[in-house]
């Protein structure tokens, strides 16, 4: 059985939660987010606490309840605090520029061409310097997916460590093959 589903979700002040059939709508801080959950789940609201329970007491229903609880909790955290990921560009000549008017991230990654990445308006991307990118937003899945998409343009190679990596990511550098 899922232990995560048994935890209560405490809703902070300023956050409104509405239940509409199998849809939960959470809004606050001028952000509205909704989630359609399974019909096998029951969500109970008691003042500022949410409880997620399955209709049927079996293993699969508890797993769905735990996933639903985690997603709802991430929505609340995203609206109150937000999520962020930091990427670093490592390599000679690797740099990045941002056009905030068009929401375009321009990457110079050692190719013969530049890469223009169009990001959604709900995501904020900042350049700390020419080689560090900070991606922030209220949707955890979208922030992680955009970071993974940008990273996929130049993954870290194992011999010199060049490429796009997450902040504090540990890269195992391989030793160069030697002739005997």
The domain locations on the chain are 9-80, 83-166
Are both 9-80 and 83-166 of the same fold?
A: yes
pLDDT at 177: 80
For 53, phi then psi, to 5°, come to -135, 150
Pure H helices in 15-169: 59-80, 140-151
pLDDT at 29: 85
Q: In what order do the strands lie in the sheet with 132-137?
A: 124-129, 132-137, 83-90, 163-166
Q: Which pLDDT belongs to residue 137?
A: 95
- pTM here is 0.86
* 20-69 pLDDT tens trace: 889 999 998 899 999 999 998 999 999 899 999 999 989 999 999 999 99
Determine which helix (DSSP H) or strand (DSSP E) holds 23, and give its type and residue range: strand 23-28
Mean pLDDT throughout 108-123?
A: 93
- Tell me the C-alpha distance between 1 and 56, whole Å: 12
CB 118 within 8 A of CB 124: no
pLDDT digits (tens, 9 = 90+) for 125-161: 999 999 999 999 999 999 999 999 999 999 999 999 9
CA gap 55, 46 in Å, rounded: 18
If DSSP codes are grouped into helix, strand and coil, which group holds residue 48?
coil
Nearest-angstrom CA–CA distance, 66 and 89: 36
Burial of 176 (0-12, 13-18, 19+ CB in 10 A): exposed
Confidence of residue 1 (pLDDT cuts 50, 70, 90): low
SS3 assignment, position 49 = strand
Fold adopted by 83-166: Outer Surface Protein A; domain 3 (3.90.930)
What integer best gives the mean pLDDT of the chain?
A: 92
Provide the CATH topology of domain 9-80. Outer Surface Protein A; domain 3 (3.90.930)
């Amino acid at each position: 059985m899922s232990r995560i589903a048994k935890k209560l979700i405490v809703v902070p002040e300023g956050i409104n939660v509405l239940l509409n059939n199998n849809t939960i709508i959470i809004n606050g801080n001028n952000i509205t987010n909704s989630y359609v959950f399974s019909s096998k789940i029951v969500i109970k609201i008691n003042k500022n606490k949410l409880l997620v329970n399955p209709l049927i007491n079996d293993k699969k229903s508890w797993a769905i309840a735990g996933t639903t609880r985690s997603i709802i909790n991430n929505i609340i955290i995203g609206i109150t605090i937000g999520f962020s990921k930091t990427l670093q560009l490592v390599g000679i000549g690797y740099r990045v520029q941002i056009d905030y008017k068009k929401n375009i991230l321009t990457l110079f990654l050692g190719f013969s061409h530049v890469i223009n990445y169009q990001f959604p308006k709900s995501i904020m991307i900042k350049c700390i310097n020419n080689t560090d990118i900070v991606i922030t937003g209220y949707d955890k899945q979208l922030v992680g997916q955009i970071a993974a998409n940008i990273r996929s343009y130049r993954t870290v190679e194992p011999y010199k460590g060049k490429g796009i990596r997450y902040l504090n990511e540990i890269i195992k550098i391989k030793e160069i093959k030697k002739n005997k």
